[in-house]
Structure 1
Amino acid sequence: MLVLAAQRQIDFPTFLFANVGDDSEHPATLAYVREVAMAYARQHGIEIHEIQRRRRDGSIETLWERLHQPQLRSIPIPVRMANGAPGRRSCTSDFKIKVVARWLREHGATAHRPAVLGIGISLDEIHRANKRRSDPYEQIEYPLLDLGLRRDDCAQIISAAGLPVPPKSACFFCPYKTVDAWREQRRDEPELFAKSVQLEAVLNEKRAMLGRDAAYLTRYGTPLNNAIQVMAPSSSETLDSGCDSGWCMT
């Protein structure tokens, strides 16, 4: 959408990146936004604002910090139960949607003068589009759907503009990660994998103290360090369709 806006094919002069935390977002996403997207936007007179969730005292709260709060009782990420099913989550709502909504209201969006909010869902993921979920002060649009663009089309548009195609955006510890993605993290990013293992252990310590069953970052019902082994990619693994928001690169 940034390239399309620069080419004046869509009319979106302002872009928002809701950063859930430098300790939570994948480093590759942060690098792309700050080193590639922001520079490209400046060249074409487009604004990009990096925004984050703030507490009442004005300090920044990150998702990683919330997950490590001693008093945590409800896990905000979709950890997997023993049967492999994902639990409820509030991370997208609290650290993406509400953060964007607050920025819109602070910059003049009202029910009488709603902000037009474009979300980058492509035809491959049309089931994720739902305009009924918009709030009174926003009018949600799906520019990629209007143009009939698929994920491959988007990659070609980005490449044709001379930009590298961005990596898939998500927290590095997201339970919606595919098994192959976990294997790649263990092989190529051992420090991030070790932090994911540590997070899972911390969450289960809290659940044990509350008398609750263990939960996991994969569907295998066993600790991450045991569940993920480095091996050849599986041809059956595809992008996980569990994430239904379309907000992760927002």
Structure 2
Amino acid sequence: MRAVSYGGGVQSTALLVLAAHKRIDFPIFLFANVGDDSEHPDTLAYVNDIARPYARQNGIELIEVKRCRRDGTSETLWERLNQRNSRSIPIPVRMGNGAPGRRSCTSDFKIKVIGRWLKRHGATAASPAAVGIGISLDEIHRANKRRSEPHEVIEYPLLQLGLRRDDCAQIITDAGLPVPRKSACFFCPLKTVGAWREQRYREPDLFWKSVHLEEVLNERRAMLGRDPAYLTRYGVPLDQAIKPENPAASDEMQDPGCDSGWCMT
């Protein structure tokens, strides 16, 4: 079995085009949707309106998978973050010194979800699936084969082809497709300051949802006797850290943040 972990962003969409053109051998693309209330709306729209029809036209299976509870119902990351009885926060919120905390979101809502699908469809330690990850040459530091599970072998097709992020965007454009935005949860603390400024300026509804989430998480931390944590590195609430101004063109927007390659591709 050969499948790509599809994130709906630039690199993994380039992999989709390369697979359609038979330049790489991956007939299955697995989109681990962490939640319609958690993924950026633009990413969901791109997957449904652009990537899915393109995959279908080119004989590629693009399959959406979600995290399920034991009773069979799906669970979203947003729902877990807003559970009032939870004692842990699965996203890498920033501590007072700006450093990101520990996280389980990528593991619980992407790696394990895709892993369960692979195992249900025949992947084993004796016969592992090849899983393609969309890390490009300019982000080679994110490649880490040590994170593969027993039922999978991680491959990096973009690295093997020597392709950078700009190359990926050109591949998508040459295929007649629009270039997608960077994929990530809209409230991800690993976004750059520039990305937060862009959200406040252009997507105020998402920004104020992020502000509310930060407040909810800190109310819970206060009840547990813990210090506050934040969605930016500034050590102050989000609406104070990010001012309502037009983001400068020079603001850095593309910091990979998550080092695993399962997110932000």
TM-score, reference length from structure 2: 0.92
Which runs of no fewer than 5 residues in structure 2 stay unpaired? 1-14
Mapped partners of 1:133, 1:91: distance in 2: 15
Cα deviation for residue 249 of structure 1 reads 5.4
Q: 1:237 aligns with which of 252, 257, 261?
A: 252
Q: 2:63 aligns with which of 46, 49, 64?
A: 49
Judging changes above 3 Å, is the alpha-carbon distance between structure 1 residues 4 and 81 closer, same or farther for their aligned structure 2 residues? same
Mapped partners of 1:221, 1:234: distance in 2: 25
Aligned to 2:262: 247
Cα deviation for residue 153 of structure 1 reads 0.3
Question: Is residue 218 of structure 1 aligned with residue 232 of structure 2?
Answer: yes
Aligned to 1:104: 118
Which stretch shows the higher mean deviation, 229-238 or 52-61? Answer: 229-238
Asked if 2 retains the 8 angstrom alpha-carbon contact of 1:17 and 1:249, the reply is: no
Aligned to 2:3: none
Question: Is residue 143 of structure 1 aligned with residue 157 of structure 2?
Answer: yes
Cα deviation for residue 12 of structure 1 reads 0.3
Mapped partners of 2:254, 2:29: distance in 1: 26
> CA RMSD for the aligned pairs?
1.2
Mapped partners of 1:170, 1:127: distance in 2: 19
User: What is the SS of the residue equivalent to 1:103?
Assistant: helix
User: What is the SS of the residue equivalent to 2:218?
Assistant: helix
Aligned to 2:54: 40
Judging changes above 3 Å, is the alpha-carbon distance between structure 1 residues 41 and 232 closer, same or farther for their aligned structure 2 residues? closer
Aligned to 1:119: 133
Mapped partners of 1:238, 1:184: distance in 2: 9
Cα deviation for residue 132 of structure 1 reads 2.2
Which runs of no fewer than 5 residues in structure 1 stay unpaired? none
Once the two structures are superposed, residues 83-105 of structure 1 have per-residue CA deviations (whole angstroms, 9 ceiling, x without a partner) of: 11110100000000000000000
Mapped partners of 1:172, 1:159: distance in 2: 25
Question: Is residue 131 of structure 1 aligned with residue 122 of structure 2?
Answer: no
Q: 2:185 aligns with which of 171, 175, 198?
A: 171
Aligned to 2:38: 24
Cα deviation for residue 241 of structure 1 reads 4.1
Mapped partners of 1:249, 1:170: distance in 2: 5
Equivalent pairs, count:
250
Aligned to 1:193: 207
Judging changes above 3 Å, is the alpha-carbon distance between structure 1 residues 249 and 52 closer, same or farther for their aligned structure 2 residues? farther
Question: Is residue 3 of structure 1 aligned with residue 7 of structure 2?
Answer: no
Q: 2:195 aligns with which of 181, 195, 202?
A: 181
Mapped partners of 1:232, 1:149: distance in 2: 29
Aligned to 2:7: none
Which stretch shows the higher mean deviation, 127-136 or 85-94? Answer: 127-136
Asked if 2 retains the 8 angstrom alpha-carbon contact of 1:180 and 1:234, the reply is: no
Which stretch shows the higher mean deviation, 50-59 or 230-239? Answer: 230-239
Cα deviation for residue 18 of structure 1 reads 0.1
- Give aligned-pair identity as a percent: 75
User: What is the SS of the residue equivalent to 1:140?
Assistant: strand
Once the two structures are superposed, residues 170-190 of structure 1 have per-residue CA deviations (whole angstroms, 9 ceiling, x without a partner) of: 000000111111111111111
Question: Is residue 81 of structure 1 aligned with residue 111 of structure 2?
Answer: no
TM-score, reference length from structure 1: 0.97
User: Which letter does structure 2 place at the counterpart of 1:144?
Assistant: L
Cα deviation for residue 235 of structure 1 reads 2.9
Cα deviation for residue 238 of structure 1 reads 4.9
Mapped partners of 1:164, 1:242: distance in 2: 24
Judging changes above 3 Å, is the alpha-carbon distance between structure 1 residues 100 and 186 closer, same or farther for their aligned structure 2 residues? same
